[in-house]
A and B are shown apart, each in its own frame.
Chain A
Amino acid sequence: MKSRFLAVLGSAVLVLAGCSSGTSVTQAPGASAAPSAAAAGTQPSAAVTGDVTVWSWRIEDKDAYKKMFDAFTAKNPGINVTFETTVDTEYETKLTTALRAGKGPDIAQLKAYGELQPLTDAGYLVALDDKIAGLKDFFPAALDGARSVTDKKVYGVPYAMPDMGVFYNKKIFADNGISVPQTYDEFVAACQKLKAAGIIPIAAGGASGTAWALEIMIGVVGPNIYGANTFWNDIESGKATFTDPRYVAALKRLQDLYPYYSPGMEGVDYTTATQQFINGKAAMFMGGSWENGSFKSQNKDLQFDIFSFPPDKAGDAAYTSSFADGSYGLVSASKNQDAAVKVLEYMTSLEWAQAYADLLGWPAGRPGVTANDPVLQSMLKMQANQTPYLSLVGFRWHTPTASEIIQADIANVMAGKMTPEALAQKIQDGVSTWFKPTP
């Protein structure tokens, strides 16, 4: 009797002890467990095998990634790659929860700039500078998005440098006798013509938690008005702040275009807005490179292209905002580091970048890619006049980020319920609590 009682109690204690994972919440700085023999790809015949799991938030790109990983496995038999996706809004949570428990994928898709830092500071990722030879081919601006500010090392293989502009439906434009506007006045005239014809000129919406899509619109419309790289240097060096009339004018421009947005735009969410463009109910949509593949896969018959938002004066440069979207990094706790390194090395190759461009339509983070897709060709042309996507590259490093302040109220500014000056002041008040200009 007594022994049985003790046995039950004892097993209960064991269950308790076994379940308590993660009591020590501090992690040792990322020490790579496996020897980095496979790093520079100098040992082709030491057959590295293993199952590599890759986590990503790009649900829309699943089919393309499968094709690209199949090409990898054909070259590297024995390494099977499993690509698992989670919806963007839950990806960070899922990844950090898994990493804290010592689990998670072998390779994880990583956000760029400020959102990367908690993962690198906690030691969940392996620095790749010495492991992946192909990284030296990448654009420095792309690598900066995968860099830790603490130790300046690169922790991911960048996959794209998207830019953003105005997508337009070529058929609707042709049917209504509209050509790509070269000045702001031409743009407004085109919108008026479309509205008179009963077509939504610009599909827009950021309700119900999708306000990041409205922040993108600032990136599309803003640079020509606030002065692109001049303003970027001014605000980074402290010569200007968000309350500068140039930035306020950019916000006001978005307010001025309100009559041409989707009706009741404050209540339309991002997905509905994209549907309006994809279904041909709207003529234009302001978005980033990531929409290219997504639009194509949802409506193969949609004929569309993209242009940079036109300048006020004819002949001036039309700027696009660009940024490093993210990278794929190696998880410290991975049990298949050799195989994962091989996958990452392949992801730096021109072959991967070309397939990425062909199937997904994003501008690559490395040179050498030829654009077979006409929309991608347009995006690459737009890159000739690029400036950093201000709120992300400059101000998403600490809370409160410029992005969260913008996203809370930008719909109200666009709808005329809040003045651009008030929002600009809010942004400045928020970021001034942590932002240190570098003169």
Chain B
Amino acid sequence: MRAVLARRRLRSAIILVAPAFVVYTVVVIYPLVASLWGSLLDWNGLTSGRFIALDNFANLFRDPYLPRVVGAFTHNVLWFVGIMVIQNVGGMLIAYLLYTRRGRMGFFQSAFFLPAILSPILVGALWRIILAPEGPLNSVLGNLGVASGPIAWLGDNNLALPCLVLVDAWNWVGLPLLVFLAGFNDIPPEIMESAKLEGASASKALLSIGLPLVMPSIAIVSILTFINAFNQFDIVYIMEGPEGNPGHSTDVLGTLFYQLAFGTQGASGLTEIGIALALATVLMLLLAAGTVVGLRTLGQRIVEF
């Protein structure tokens, strides 16, 4: 009797999961396998040819692709660091302020989270207008007497990438704010009270007590930031186009893949699909490895109270 029931339950489970599984297979598994297979083939334009094993991967790390790959990877790393420092630390500080001041948390949470609900296209287009040489930012700087002439924020090799990182940070600062605030609110109030009674300053309370206790939140936010920084595409595509203008200074792995797979728009529609698929595979492995390592190391530092 129990065996029959168990079998029926198993069957119902499979039937209920099957539709979602089919969709998942078609939309995720099949393209993944096709891409992995395609990265092992020789591509001439749009047609695939013979099996060449890891030649595409070898070529990816040779000239003329190597400098582009290294450049893009470096920019992704800088993006990750930039977001960690500006968005996450910033979010943490604001969360701590709200937590200690017990201010109007609801209002501030909404205000800081508002940019996150905007479509990336809107965000990119909006900031492109603000950062234009004749745009509002330069007007303000000019009126304040800070800048002598219009600054080409998005046209300068050294300024473009930092601008993009700042836009991304502005866009998503609400997320760490929410997560850390929830984390802080989970700390039993007696711990913070006793710290205050013993004369700990606000910063000492944060560093020695607050941070270790919200380690799980920090772990989650860091891993999400890592994945987002290396998957970055939207902001760069909208604000600078996929070619890494100016002068390859805003190349990221996502846009480099796009250029190789679809051709540099306006310069040539010539595609390098084999190299592109190899890059996509490498990026996937990188993200998988990074996430696993991140979960292992950060997961161990949770302080129990």
Interface string of B107-133 (1 = CB under 8 A from A): 000000000000000000000100111
Chain B interface size, under 10 / 10 to 19 / 20 to 34 / 35 or more:
35 or more
Residues of B within 8 A of A1 (CB): 8, 11
Residues of A within 8 A of B269 (CB): 92, 96, 111, 115, 118
CB-based contact A433/B241 at 8 Å? no
> B74 on the interface (CB 8 Å rule)?
no
> B26 on the interface (CB 8 Å rule)?
yes
Interface string of A84-104 (1 = CB under 8 A from B): 000011101100100110000
Contact with A399, one of B131, B149, B243, B270 (Cβ below 8 angstroms): B270
Residues of A within 8 A of B8 (CB): 1
CB-based contact A25/B265 at 8 Å? no
CB-based contact B133/A100 at 8 Å? no
CB-based contact A407/B243 at 8 Å? yes
C-alpha spacing A4/B133, complex, angstroms: 66
Interface string of B163-188 (1 = CB under 8 A from A): 00000000000000000000000000
CB-based contact B241/A209 at 8 Å? yes
Residues of B within 8 A of A117 (CB): 45
> A330 on the interface (CB 8 Å rule)?
no
CB-based contact A404/B268 at 8 Å? yes
Residues of A within 8 A of B271 (CB): 96, 118
- Which of A11-19, A138-146, A231-239 contacts its partner? A11-19
C-alpha spacing A1/B15, complex, angstroms: 11
CB-based contact A264/B266 at 8 Å? no
Known: A27-B47, A208-B239, A264-B151. Contact between A417 and B132, CB under 8 A? no
> B197 on the interface (CB 8 Å rule)?
no
> B157 on the interface (CB 8 Å rule)?
yes
C-alpha spacing A208/B262, complex, angstroms: 18
Query: Would you give the shortest CB distance from A269 to chain B, in whole angstroms?
Result: 8
Q: Which of B239-277 contact A (CB under 8 A)?
A: 239-248, 262-272
CB-based contact A207/B26 at 8 Å? no
Residues of B within 8 A of A212 (CB): 266-267
CB-based contact A16/B48 at 8 Å? no
- Which of B17-25, B92-100, B207-215, B217-225 contacts its partner? B17-25
C-alpha spacing A5/B12, complex, angstroms: 9
Residues of A within 8 A of B157 (CB): 412, 417
CB-based contact B265/A207 at 8 Å? no
Q: List 25 A-B contacts (CB under 8 A).
A: A5-B11, A8-B15, A15-B26, A115-B269, A121-B44, A122-B46, A207-B152, A208-B128, A209-B240, A211-B246, A264-B134, A264-B151, A264-B155, A266-B152, A267-B132, A267-B150, A267-B151, A272-B134, A396-B268, A399-B268, A400-B64, A401-B270, A403-B268, A408-B248, A430-B64
